A and B are shown apart, each in its own frame.
Chain A
Amino acid sequence: MSKDHEDAPMTIGGSPDRVDGVPKVTGTALYVDDLEAPGAWHGATLRSDVPRGRFVSLTRAADFDWSDVVVVTADDIAGQNVVALIEDDQPSLVPVGGMICHREEALALVAAPTRAAARAALAHLTVVVDALPAVTTLDAALRADVAVHNDDNVLKRLEIHRNDDDIDEILARCAHVIEGTYETGAQEQMYIEPQGILAEWRGETCRVTGSLQCPYYVHKALVMLLGLPDDQVVVTQAVTGGGFGGKEEYPSMIAGHAALLARAAGRPIKLIYDRAEDIAATTKRHPARVHHRLGLDADGQLVAADIDVLLDGGAYVTLSPVVLSRAILHAAGPYRIPHVRIVGRALATNTPPHGAFRGFGAPQTTFAYERQMQKASRALGIDAFELRRKNLLRSGDSTATGQVLTDSVGSDAVLDTLSAALERAAPPAAARLGSLHSPVRRGRGLAFCFHGSGFTGSGEQRLAGRVTVACLPSGDFEIRSSSTDIGQGMLTIFSQIASQALGVPAARIVLSEPSTERVPDSGPTVASRTCMIVGRLVERACLALAEQLRAHAAANRLDATDLATVAAHRVAHAGPLAETCEHESPPGVEWSDETYTGAAYPVFGWAACLVDVAVDEDTREVVVERCIHAVDVGRAIHRRIVEGQIEGGTLQALGWALWEAVPYDDGRVLNPSMTDCIIPTSADAPELETLLVEMPFAHGPHGAKGVGEIPMDGPAAAVAGAIEDALGVACDVVPLLPEVLDVLLVDQPPQETLA
Chain B
Amino acid sequence: MTDWIRPTSLAEAVDARRDHPDYLVLAGGTDVMVGAIDRPAPIGVIDIFGLPELCVCEHDDEGRLRLGAGMSYAHLLGDARVAAAAPALVESAREIGALQIQARGTLGGNLGTCSPVGDTLPVLLALDAEIELRGPDGTRWLPVDDFCTGYRTTALAADELIVSVRLPVDSSSREQVWRKVGTRRAQSISKVMLCASTHRRDDGRLADVRIGLGAIAARPLRARATEAVLEGALPDGPLAARAAQAVLNDIAPIDDVRSRADYRRATTARLIRRWVLHLAQTSTTTNTGS
List chain A positions with a Cβ less than 8 A from chain B: 274, 430, 433-436, 438, 617-621, 623, 659, 663, 670-671, 675-676, 678, 680-684, 738-739, 742, 750, 752, 754-755
Contact = CB atoms under 8 A, between A and B. Distances in A.
Given A663-B257, A684-B186, A436 B262 contact: no
Given A683-B185, A752-B237, A754-B277, A434 B266 contact: no
Given A618-B267, A676-B257, A742-B263, A436 B185 contact: no
B154 interface: no
B130 to A, nearest CB: 24
Interface in B12-57: 34, 37
B257 A436 contact: no
A660 B104 CA distance: 28
Contacts of A619: 181, 192, 267, 270-271
B176 A681 contact: no
B210 interface: no
B87 interface: yes
Interface in B206-251: 237
B196 to A, nearest CB: 8
Contact of A671 (B95, B181, B237, B257): B257
A743 B18 CA distance: 52
Nearest to A682: B186
B183 interface: yes
Contact of B91 (A435, A678, A683): A435
Identify the 10 closest CB pairs spanning chains A and B, nearest first.
A683-B186, A618-B270, A436-B177, A436-B179, A683-B185, A434-B179, A739-B263, A754-B281, A681-B186, A755-B278
Given A435-B176, A436-B179, 10 more contacts: A434-B180, A435-B179, A436-B196, A617-B270, A676-B189, A681-B186, A684-B184, A684-B185, A754-B277, A755-B277
Nearest to A435: B177
A147 B88 CA distance: 57
Contacts of B177: 434-436
B274 interface: yes
23 contacts: A433-B180, A434-B95, A435-B178, A435-B179, A436-B178, A436-B271, A436-B274, A619-B181, A623-B185, A659-B184, A663-B257, A675-B34, A675-B189, A676-B257, A676-B258, A678-B184, A681-B185, A681-B186, A683-B186, A684-B186, A738-B181, A739-B260, A742-B263
Nearest to A275: B37
Interface of B: 34, 37, 87-88, 91, 94-95, 176-181, 183-189, 191-192, 194, 196, 237, 257-260, 262-263, 266-267, 270-271, 273-275, 277-278, 280-281
A199 B9 CA distance: 51
A414 B194 CA distance: 45
A62 to B, nearest CB: 24
Nearest to A745: B266
Contacts of B275: 436
Contact of A678 (B34, B176, B183): B183
Secondary structure dominating the interface of B: mixed
Contacts of A433: 91, 94-95, 180, 185
A681 to B, nearest CB: 5
Contacts of A676: 183, 189, 257-258
Contacts of B262: 742
* Secondary structure of the A contact surface, majority rule: loop
A433 B186 CA distance: 10
Nearest to B94: A433
A117 to B, nearest CB: 15
Give the most central of B37, B185, B258, B262: most A CB within 10 Å.
Answer: B185
B93 to A, nearest CB: 12
Nearest to A670: B257
Nearest to B244: A750
Contacts of B176: 435
A621 B278 CA distance: 19
Contacts of B187: 681
A621 B263 CA distance: 12
A508 B190 CA distance: 53
A674 to B, nearest CB: 9
B274 A438 contact: yes
B263 A436 contact: no
A434 B271 CA distance: 12
Contacts of B189: 675-676
A680 B184 contact: yes
Contacts of A755: 274, 277-278, 281
Contacts of A752: 237
A617 B192 CA distance: 15
A739 B259 contact: yes
Contacts of A750: 270, 273
Contacts of A274: 37
A35 B194 CA distance: 48
Contacts of B273: 618, 750
Question: Of A678, A680, A682, which is in contact with the most chain B CB atoms at under 10 Å from its CB?
Answer: A678
B260 A618 contact: no
A505 B81 CA distance: 59
Contacts of A683: 184-186
Contacts of A682: 186
Nearest to B259: A739
Contacts of B37: 274
A684 B187 CA distance: 10
Given A274-B37, A435-B177, A435-B178, A681 B184 contact: yes
A430 B186 CA distance: 12
Contacts of A438: 270-271, 274
Given A678-B184, A681-B187, A683-B186, A754 B280 contact: yes
Nearest to B187: A681
A124 to B, nearest CB: 17
Contacts of B263: 620, 738-739, 742
B70 to A, nearest CB: 25
A435 B271 CA distance: 12
